[in-house]
Amino acid sequence: MFYCKECYSQFSKWHGFCSKCNTWGSIVSIDNNVGFFNNKLHKSRYKSLQVQTIKLQNIEDIDNRLKFSTGIRQIDNTLGGSLMSGQVILLSGYPGVGKSTLVLTICEALDKLNKKILYLCGEESPIQIKSRVNRLNLNLNNFEFIVERDVFTLQNLLLSNRAYDCIVVDSIQTIYHSENTSSIGSVSQIITCTNILVDIAKRYNILTILIGHITKSGDIAGPMILEHLVDTVLLLDGDRNGDIRFLKVLKNRFGPSDEVGVFRISSDGIKENMEYSFIDNNTNSNSIFSFTSEGNLQILVEIEALVTKSYYANPKRTSFGFDLNRLFIILAIIEKILKINTIDKDVFLNVLNGIKINDISLDLAVFIAIYSALKNLKIPEKTVAFGEISLTGKIRKTRYHNKKILESTRMGFENIIEHDKYESIHDVVNFIESHNTN
């Protein structure tokens, strides 16, 4: 049998090219690499191993001493209330989004709990990291570096010195195993290194944070098995040109997987954002408010539209922060249901503060913004709208509908446009026009 060193695909005979991962010269014989698969253990050693089983009743409950709170509310809530010794966390995000800054902030919180931290420098030098620590004014006393990317060296260090409570690997794509002949960052290298780190974390109850890269398509770089191996998968998301960051949970074995933490990033570091609203205090009558769901959080956003006469053969449709395809559908509904011609109009839509949203509950707010801009009508003050618009112009409920109503009432909105009060866009049009005739 033969296998590919890059993607682990198996073949009955040797090929010069792997058809699974499109890699040349990566297929080798399993017989010649059995030591790598068996982790250099002889068959005689396997025969001598004594396997023991454990009854469920004999397993002790989780010791509260293994749990610890960072004191950062957004992080604790996102991770199910606390961090846990032995937990393996994969934190991913676009370059420059603030992954290392967030990890250093967590390290400062752990340092206050007298946790000893080991930081593996795979991308930056200790001088660069110290410069960031000084710039962010972080106080780290139990913080040590290791300038080594060979995971075998890291493994030997941790086995000989078990005083560390937390390991940070920056990043998982830059470390390698010296006995694996694949290139750094390849599938087999990532799987091998992650398996070793997970084994160390579980055996010795060491909190492990792995920083991961993101591909152009927005997926975590590396094999899907990487996400299966770890306990928690976090995504730090947000517009790099803005200051808002969302810490999203994609997987969590120790808590819910629909939590979201909200932060603001600046030159002073990354801070919690306890107000879940991103609106301009100097609002005007040409914008409309709506709620979008990030996990189980209801976040207030502001939407504005501009409609002008088009001087091109193909009118422009530009959207910032909202799905362009949904905008096309809403314009088609306006033209079909309301009999309003938009073929000679340029339409520009913007979600303020650079927030990117992919939520169908914003359909109704987008419709109101465009319609008011088309007809030069003012949107009534203290108005919020949320709901999906069907292709027939009907308004439908979306997820967390009741929560959004409660949040709207709590924030003092007087006009709440939603499914329970308005059945179709015709009812919404009548509401807007009636307020403009008074």
Which residue is associated with the tokens 């303020």?
352
Task: Indicate the residue type of 299.
Answer: I
Percentage of the chain lying above the pLDDT 90 cut: 37
Q: Is the pLDDT of residue 39 over 60?
A: no
Rounded alpha-carbon distances, angstroms, from residue 61 to 57, 66, 69, 102, 231:
10, 11, 19, 31, 18
Cα gap 181→189, rounded to integer Å: 9
DSSP state for residue 25 in the 8-state scheme = S
pLDDT, tens digit, 9 for 90 and up, residues 169-199: 988 989 998 888 888 888 888 888 999 999 9
Of the candidates 357, 350, 418, 349, the one whose C-alpha atom is nearest the C-alpha of residue 389 is: 418
Tell me, yes or no, if the pTM score tops 0.85: no
- The residue among 402 and 65 whose pLDDT is bigger is 402
Determine the pLDDT at residue 45: 46
Percentage of the chain lying above the pLDDT 70 cut: 90
Strands 383-385 and 117-121: unpaired
Cα gap 265→280, rounded to integer Å: 18
SS (H, E, C) 55-95: CHHHCCCCCHHHEECCCCHHHHHHCCCCEECCCEEEEEECC
Of the candidates 184, 186, 175, 212, the one whose C-alpha atom is nearest the C-alpha of residue 90 is: 212
Cα gap 290→221, rounded to integer Å: 34
Determine the pLDDT at residue 283: 53
Tokens coding 391: 């292709």
> Is the separation of the CB atoms in 247 and 227 below 8 Å?
no
Q: Is the pLDDT of residue 62 over 70?
A: no
Determine the pLDDT at residue 324: 94
Cα 127 to chain centroid distance, Å, stands at 29
Confidence of residue 49 (pLDDT cuts 50, 70, 90): low
47-77 CB burial, b ≥16 within 10 A, e <16: eeeeeeeeeeeeeeeeeeeeebebebebbbb
> Is the separation of the CB atoms in 110 and 69 below 8 Å?
no
- Structural domains of the chain, ranges and CATH numbers in brackets: 1-59 (no CATH), 65-272 (3.40.50.300), 277-437 (3.30.230.10)
pLDDT, tens digit, 9 for 90 and up, residues 128-170: 999 999 999 999 988 998 888 888 888 888 888 778 999 999 8
Determine the pLDDT at residue 279: 58
